[in-house]
Amino acid sequence: MTKSQGRDDWVRATLGSAVRDGDPVTVWCNNRVCGYWLETGRQYRTVLTVADLETYAERYGPATTFIDFSARLRCRHCGSGDVSTIVAGHHKTPAERWRDGSDPP
Ligand SMILES: [Zn+2]
């Protein structure tokens, strides 16, 4: 069974590998007393581009795990550390990519 494989890949991901993958990372705020949430009724969301990730990789080091990095992220609106991250290009598991033949060379 490989059900936990994707999760393990995610845990091992580093800032260096995120830059190499070239996928933007979406970050959003889970704080229900965030001013943005109270004003708009939506969670504050921002996207880190590869250029942003390169800046973070230079600051923290490319070997910094993504888990450690996301723990340092703060909502730009309310300053809360209760934020979630998702990598845009990781919807599919490697097995699914292989099955549709869309795995990049
Ligand atoms: Zn917030």
- Which residues sit with Cβ closer than 5 angstroms to ligand 1, an ion? 29, 31, 34, 44, 75, 77-78, 80
- Average of per-residue pLDDT across 81-102: 68
Q: What is the pLDDT of residue 36?
A: 95
Give me ligand 1 centre to Cα 70, in Å. 14
Q: What gap in Å lies between CA 97 and CA 91, rounded to an integer?
A: 10
**Which structure tokens are listed for 78?**
């309310």
Place of tokens 């991901």: 13
- Of the pLDDT bands very low, low, confident and very high (cuts 50, 70, 90), residue 96 is low
Could you tell me if 97 and 56 are in contact, meaning their C-beta atoms sit under 8 angstroms apart?
no
- Cα 91 versus chain centre, distance: 12
12-59, pLDDT tens digit by residue?
789 999 899 888 889 999 999 999 999 999 999 999 999 999 999 999
Give me ligand 1 centre to Cα 25, in Å. 17
Q: What is the pLDDT of residue 23?
A: 85
Helix, strand, coil shares of the chain, percent, nearest 5, are 45, 15, 40
Sequence ranges of the domains in the chain:
5-89
Residue 1 has pLDDT above 50, yes or no: no
Give me ligand 1 centre to Cα 40, in Å. 12
Give 38 or 94, the one with higher predicted confidence. Answer: 38
Give me ligand 1 centre to Cα 30, in Å. 7
